Structure 1
Amino acid sequence: MLNSISEALQFIELQKEKRKEKLSKLSIYVCVGTGCTAKGALKVYEEFQRVLLREGLLNSVKLAKIEDSENPLKKTGCCGRCSNGPLVNILPHGYFYSHVTVNDVEKIVEKTIKRGEPLEELLLIDPVTNDRVRSLEDSTLYKNQNFYIMEDIGKCECDSIEDYMARGGYSSLIKVLSQMQADEIIEMIKNAGLRGRGGGGFPTGLKWEAAKNSKSDVKFVVCNGDEGDPGAFMNRTLLERDPHLVLEGMIIAGYTIGAQKAYAYIRAEYPIAIQMFQKAIDDAKKLGLLGENILQTGFSFDVEIKEGAGAFVCGEETALLASIEGKRGMPRPRPPFPAQSGLWGYPTLINNVETYANISRIIRDGVEKYRLLGTENSPGTKMFSVTGPLKVTGIIEVEFGTTLRKIIYEICGGLLSGEEFKAVQIGGPSGACLSKEFLDMPLDYDTLKSADAMVGSGGIVVITKRTCMVEVARFFLDFTKRESCGKCIPCREGTMQAYNILEKFTQAKATKEDLENLEFLANLIKKTSLCGLGKTAPNPILSTLKLFKDEYLAHLNGVCPSGTCVSFKKYVVNEQLCKGCGLCAKSCPQNAIFGERGKPYKIDQEKCIKCGLCVQKCRFKAIEMI
């Protein structure tokens, strides 16, 4: 327990000295993020424990009691290369191993731990150069990023408060508690130009100021870790690899606005993130950095985790507040805004996980250093989750103003062989599709807004020529219509009707009137829906109608340009290959295949539902799609 500001400062300096010593000695960092854990990282970690103990490379006492300085085996968080896990980083050599299995541990200990030599067959393969690289820093993905809140990637301990403090953690909290007034903190955040990373990009300093100026004896701080966008896992990554970075930002927020309690709203599908963040809370309490009378300054603050049930609408702040209160997650009209009337009617500050992660760095390193990255109106960095047919996919961090071209072709190494770029879907299911004309557009809040797109939570999906843009719009609207809370008619009914029209397009049943109705309906939903989910749900429709309208027109003329909408195709029997065995007819659920045994069979196109079962059953490959 740290009982004063001076004790805390001394403890931080002690941890910094220990870390310098540790980094010069042998350390084995095993990634235990969700991706690596799913591939067996914990078993790899346990095998390292067993082998190191057997070889006398660990103290023989119970591992849980070994001091960090004596234990070279450590857990680290996501390194952004989830598809290559389990990942192991050996320092100070810097050897970065991928696809490590339990069977590899003995070899690593013998060759790398004992002799200091790399195990060549386990070194990470750079998908861009196809060469093995000796360290993560040498890989294409790593070299072209701008790390700010993801610094020390692959060499920080995700479950150690001492390691976080050794990297300067909690020094910002100590600074604000001992040296700064609330107005100074807010002014610093305003000058930094930090904008909310949850999607809207609202100036963080203004939001904090509104909450601070609200008159109430009871106030709350809320961290939005719901992250409901499909394919987006930036928040999960931060909570797993550096939970104290987020926690420190929340405590500073509480001090600034005069709050006594905070809730971290994390979706239940993130069990590792919840576990890591709960440990961070417990460890901070043990050291006196959280709880009653923090460091004897008179400031008391507590944090509790609230597990979300996976409702996309709870990413909207008023729906999230309703969920915390134990109600159904449904948005309400604003004003009043949460800063005036939030949880149980009290002033409440809500920020995203990534927003809080920036706070302590800004206070610790200063406004000028923060503004070295990014653009004038969108300073700093942003984490993105990049998916699609690329040579490298995963979590990246780049400064605002970085172009899509740099992300796709430099950081991610370009598209896989045989693929041709068509578009990107940016901003999650509520985002927009941008064509190749936007590849050189700088990514920041205002520029994307001018293109009728948005940063959103940070999801980027790369789309190729093989993909139908009408189907893309249908796919994302299918998600948002299912996630609608149903409170307002435009969102509840409008998204369903728009989806039905898109279904007609992909099923070769649409008319010119459907095209006119789709555009009218999309604009109506956008203008009249209650909350952000409804207002942004039509974005995939509107953006594809704007940039890829030729594909909609082609569908009206009976053609899917990409060839992915199966309703525009038909199964036929190749009479030259058919042996007349009748197996296809027996397997058809619609009785659409007919003929005489020993002669070529035929398919009734009116009955055929294009399920493809006949193709699977035919042993002579006589059924083809044309």
Structure 2
Amino acid sequence: MYRTDVLVCGGTGCTSSNSEKIIEKLQEEIARHGLEDEVNVVRTGCFGLCALGPIMIVYPEGSFYSMVQVEDIPEIVEEHLLKGKAVKRLLYKETVSEDGSIRSLSETPFYAKQRRIALRNCGVINPEDISEYIAVDGYTALAKVLKEMTPQEVIGVMKASGLRGRGGAGFPTGLKWSFAAANQADQKYVCCNADEGDPGAFMDRSILEGDPHTVLEAMTIAGYAIGSTQGYIYIRAEYPIAVKRLQIALRQSREKGFLGKNIFGSGFDFDIELRLGAGAFVCGEETALMTSIEGKRGEPRPRPPFPALKGLFQKPTILNNVETWANITQIILNGAEWFHSIGTEKSAGTKVFALGGKINHTGLVEVPMGTTLREIVEEIGGGVPNGHAFKAAQTGGPSGGCIPASELDIKIDYDNLTAIGAMMGSGGMIVMDDTTCMVDIAKFFLEFTVDESCGKCTPCRVGTRRLLELLTKITDGKGTLEDIDRMEELCYYLKENSLCALGQTAPNPVLSTLKYFRDEYIAHVTEHRCPAGVCKALTNYHIEADKCRGCTLCARNCPVGAITGTVKQPHVIDTSKCIKCGACMEKCRFGAIVKR
């Protein structure tokens, strides 16, 4: 019987920061001190507070160690695991009270307002050990469904729960299942969309890395509900840890009889296969994803017919993303009313966000629908760093829109975001401060969309490129007011005429920035000025003579010799030579260099 459990994050973020070497050193030191029978080391999924990785938690105390390095391990083993004294310099400061006592994670600002349902097991269990999933009620929901419920009752619970798809526009999950169940066919399919392509999004990856069995169990339940015997998980190959853990989970589930023939002796057969995607953003669109699973080029199909009638291999198919699947078992076990009591009337439950950008606490958060953007940014995220002001948040990735500071108190749910020109999307949330140029942000997302367009339909293939050309013209200081009007007209044309959601939503970043930050576009055009000082063609570096001490540091670091001056005398930048790299401003100790 272990007296201590040491949980170490084995998600992608912490793994990239050497958490695997930390685990190796931890096991080595534990063996050196003869603690193998007393200390259990558990490799988990993501804890959520990614900015502080690598992360380690020691139980039963709950001591939360952050930014742990390999060289810290001997001290942690000797002081904490041997002597019972926490190494306070390594503890996450928010978990240490003024009197020196350790408080629980749930009391810290990052976790206090979270409600973890989809992420409930991430950072809690070893995702590569099915027995740990079973210990937290794993596969209990599947047993309940197969032994106590009819397929119609399962669908009824899903409808009553109010669960909406967490991967895009938020279509009601139970309704989607009911459509597929009503269509008769010799074969039906259940698909999981794990092709998470939005820049800055890592919600689905983290769930699969930390709790893969919850997706397998939910897909099996869905198979029973609609009358399917085969499922597919479409996951991008750039997620090697998630792929590996899914492969382990599939093997373990088959060995335990949770997948395969005659599950729980019910006579119900169901199995799941993996399909690896090559990273094409368009394959996140449901019909393109199914076309790719079929072994063809990933291009969208016209709808109708919708997948519930003719989907994968032209058979009735349901497709949900990872986060949607991660809610299913909890709804079955706790009931539709329980889930519907969380969140808002039209957006039940919680939502997972990958919080990134200009924010102190980068990481993965799960909050009830209806939580305000202010609570997410200022309380959970710890606010904007370096004294800068919040300017906007981009949700929904390239398909979403920017939420301005004036909407900081908006309650986050599907309908509220749509009403202001944004969207929930899969859950990426990129925070921007007052140093961000919103025209440049729109251009960034358009560059991504142009690269990722499959080219099948002319509006998207040609229209997004024309839109990008107009944005580039404006950021280069060559735009006109007519170009702004032309952009708006083109945006609406794209929305109305593109074949799939990628092209239809591509203009959203442009439209939302035009709506809330039109003054920045006008400044670029009429004043040939970038208010944020980001667009190089519209920005020059100047040395303020009254602040310059003539230390020559800027001149010595200029790669093109654009700065001249003598020691202890104000220097000057030759703007005709300056390549606007910013090296001088970075090196100046007196704040004498400014962008205009």
Could you state the TM-score of these two structures normalised by the residue count of structure 1? 0.87
Distance 2:594 2:40 in 1: 59
Helix, strand or coil: the match of 2:382? coil
Q: Which residue of 1 aligns with 2:35?
A: 57
Match of 1:42 in 2: 20
Partner-residue secondary structure (3-state), 1:398: strand
Instruction: Determine if the alignment matches structure 1 residue 404 to structure 2 residue 373.
Output: yes
Q: 1:89 to 1:502 in 2, by over 3 A?
A: same
User: Equivalents in 1 of 2:123, 2:351: separation in Å?
Assistant: 19
State the one-letter code of the partner of 2:12.
T
* Letter of the structure 2 residue corresponding to residue 213 of structure 1: A
Contact 2:95 2:105 in 1 (8 A): no
Task: Work out whether residues 382 and 458 of structure 1, in 8 Å CA contact, stay in contact via their aligned partners in 2.
Answer: yes
C-alpha distance in structure 1 between counterparts of 2:31 and 2:159, whole Å: 52
Q: Look up the match of 2:143.
A: 174
For residues 617 and 363 of structure 1, do their structure 2 counterparts lie closer, same or farther at Cα, with a shift above 3 Å needed?
Answer: closer
Task: Name the CA shift for 1:221/1:512 in 2 (closer, same or farther; >3 Å).
Answer: same
**TM-superposed deviation, 1:218:** 1.1
Shift of the 571–378 alpha-carbon distance from structure 1 to 2, 3 Å rule, reads closer
Match of 2:7 among 26, 29, 41: 29
* 1:138–1:115 distance in 2 versus 1, CA, 3 Å: farther
Is 2:95–2:104's contact at 8 Å kept on the other side of the alignment? Answer: no
2:81 matched residue in structure 1:
113
Whether 2:173 is the aligned partner of 1:204: answer: yes
Q: Write the mapping of 1:177-576 to structure 2, written as runs, cut at 5 A.
A: 177-556=146-525, 557-570=527-540
Q: How many Å apart are 1:614 and its aligned residue?
A: 9.3
Q: 1:386, 1:76 → 2: CA distance?
A: 20
Matches of 1:129 and 1:497, distance apart in 2? 56
Distance in 2 (CA, whole Å) between partners of 1:429 and 1:128 is: 40
Classify the secondary structure of the residue corresponding to 1:382: strand
**Cα displacement string for residues 133-159 of structure 1 (whole angstroms, at most 9, x for unaligned residues):** 654334210112112222255332222
Shift of 1:611: 5.6
Instruction: Determine the C-alpha separation between the residues in 2 that align with 1:418 and 1:131.
Output: 29
**DSSP-derived class of the 1:463 partner:** strand
* Structure 1 pair 612–93 and aligned structure 2 pair: CA distance change class (3 A): closer
Residue identity opposite 1:48 in structure 2: L
Distance 1:519 1:121, change over 3 A: same
Q: Distance in 1 between matches of 2:481 and 2:96?
A: 45
Match of 2:47 among 53, 62, 79: 79
AA paired with 1:387?
Answer: G
Flag the 1:553–1:129 CA change in 2: closer, same or farther, 3 A. farther
Which of the numbers 127, 142, 145 marks the counterpart of 1:158? 127
What is the CA-CA distance between 1:378 and the residue it aligns to?
0.6
Secondary structure (helix, strand or coil) at the match of 1:126 reads helix
Q: Which residue of 2 aligns with 1:92?
A: 60
- Aligned residue in 2 for 1:125: 93
What per-residue deviation string (whole Å, max 9, x for no partner) do you get for residues 230-279 of structure 1? Answer: 10100011001111111110111111111111111111111111111111
Equivalent pair of 1:384/1:460 in contact (CA under 8 Å) = yes
Contact preservation (8 Å) 1:85, 1:99: yes
- What is the CA-CA distance between 1:84 and the residue it aligns to? 1.3
What is the CA distance between 1:32 and its match in structure 2?
Answer: 0.5
Show the counterpart of 2:567.
none
- The 8 Å contact of residues 127 and 211 in structure 2, kept in 1 or not, is answered as yes
Answer whether contact 2:237 2:277 (CA < 8 A) is retained: yes
SS at match of 2:48: coil
How far has the Cα of 1:317 moved from its partner?
A: 0.3
Q: What is the distance in 1 between the residues matched to 2:251 and 2:512?
A: 46
Counterpart in 2 of 1:64?
none
Structure 1: runs of 5+ lacking an equivalent: 1-20, 60-69, 595-599
CA contact (8 A) 1:211 1:349 kept: yes
Q: Secondary structure at the match of 2:402?
A: strand
Determine if contact 1:587/1:617 at 8 Å carries over to the other structure: no
Residue range with higher mean Cα deviation, 275-284 or 145-154: 145-154
C-alpha displacement at 1:406, in angstroms?
Answer: 0.9
Instruction: Compute the displacement of 1:184 (Å).
Output: 0.4
Measured in 1, the distance between the counterparts of 2:57 and 2:524 equals 51
Tell me the residue number matched to 1:7: none
> Conserved in 1, the CA contact under 8 Å of 2:4 and 2:39?
no
Q: Distance in 2 between matches of 1:316 and 1:130?
A: 50
Shift of 1:115: 2.4
For the residues of structure 1 that align with 2:425 and 2:294, how far apart are their CA atoms? 26
String of CA shifts for 1:388-416, please: whole Å, max 9, x gaps.
Answer: 22221210000101110111111112221
* Conserved 8 A contact 2:106-2:112: yes
Shift of 1:536: 0.5
Residue 260 of structure 2 aligns to a residue in which SS?
Answer: coil
- Whichever residue aligns with residue 254 of structure 1, its letter is G
Q: Kindly tell me: are residues 559 and 300 of structure 1, through their superposed partners in 2, closer, same or farther at Cα, counting changes over 3 Å? A: same
The residue correspondences of 1:5-20 to structure 2 (distance < 5 A) are none
Q: Which moved more, 1:50-59 or 1:116-125?
A: 50-59
Aligned mates of 2:532, 2:594 — CA distance in 1? 18
Contact 1:501 1:514 (8 Å CA) reproduced: yes
TM (normalized to structure 2)? 0.91
User: Deviations 1:12-40 (Å, cap 9, x if unpaired)?
Assistant: xxxxxxxxx87xx4211111011111111
Q: CA–CA distance in 1 between the matches of 2:92 and 2:99?
A: 8
Residues in 1 aligned to 2:557 and 2:379: alpha-carbon distance in whole angstroms:
48
- Unaligned segments of structure 2, at least 5 residues: 565-570
Question: What is the distance in 1 between the residues matched to 2:20 and 2:118?
Answer: 25
Deviation at 1:76, TM superposition (A): 1.1
2:122–2:207 Cα contact (<8 Å) kept:
no
RMSD: 3.0
Query: How many angstroms apart in 1 are the aligned matches of 2:573 and 2:377?
Result: 46
Deviates more, 1:42-51 or 1:328-337: 42-51
Q: Distance in 2 between matches of 1:470 and 1:33?
A: 34
Taking structure 1 as reference, are residues 549 and 129 closer, same or farther at Cα in structure 2, changes over 3 Å only? Answer: farther
**CA spacing shift, 1:338–1:559, aligned 2, 3 Å:** same
8 A contact 1:578–1:622 mirrored in 2: no
The one-letter amino acid paired with 2:134 is: M
- The CA distance in 1 between the partners of 2:64 and 2:558, in whole Å, is 55
Q: Report the CA distance between 1:549 and its aligned residue.
A: 0.8
Which AA in structure 1 matches 2:67? H
Once residues 428 and 371 of structure 1 are traced to their aligned partners in structure 2, the CA distance between those partners, rounded to angstroms, is: 27
Instruction: State, as a whole percentage, how many aligned pairs show the same letter.
Output: 49
Question: Structure 2 counterpart of 1:101, which letter?
Answer: Q
Distance 1:492 1:93, change over 3 A: same
CA pair 29-571 structure 1, distance change in 2 beyond 3 A: closer
Partner SS state of residue 231, structure 2: strand
- Is contact 2:122–2:211 with CA below 8 Å preserved after alignment? no
Distance 1:241 1:555 in 2: 46
